[in-house]
Amino acid sequence: MRIALACVAVLAAAPLAALADEAGSALAATCAMCHGTTGHSVGGNVPLAGMPKDEMVSKFKAFRSGAMPATVMHQIAKGYTDSQLDQLAAFFAAQKK
């Protein structure tokens, strides 16, 4: 019985993980102009692919608060909720460097 419940829990979580990946991917599309579609920058901007999630969230919050200097990132970061920042950071963290 425990094995059956564990299997049900795993199967139920799979669609939720897929939705989270899609949300992160959709949010990441707004970063493509400067950071590439999967976070592999080609124009001298910071590469986001493979950056640890916690580091990225911390940097976003520093941009948002004005603690980290930026040209446009302070304005861009203000447009995301904490939940969206988590999804975005998870997407880029999952990308290979």
CATH number where 26 lies: 1.10.760.10
**Nearest 5°: CA angle at 18, between 12 and 21?**
145
Q: Into how many domains does the chain fold?
A: 1
pLDDT of 24 higher than 90? no
Q: Which domain holds residue 7?
A: 2-93
In the chain, the amino acid numbered 69 is P
Single-letter residue type at 86? D
- Predicted pLDDT of residue 18: 52
pLDDT tens digits along 25-52: 899 998 999 999 899 988 889 999 999 9
> In this structure, what is the dihedral angle of CA atoms 24, 18, 40, 31, given to the nearest 10 degrees?
-20
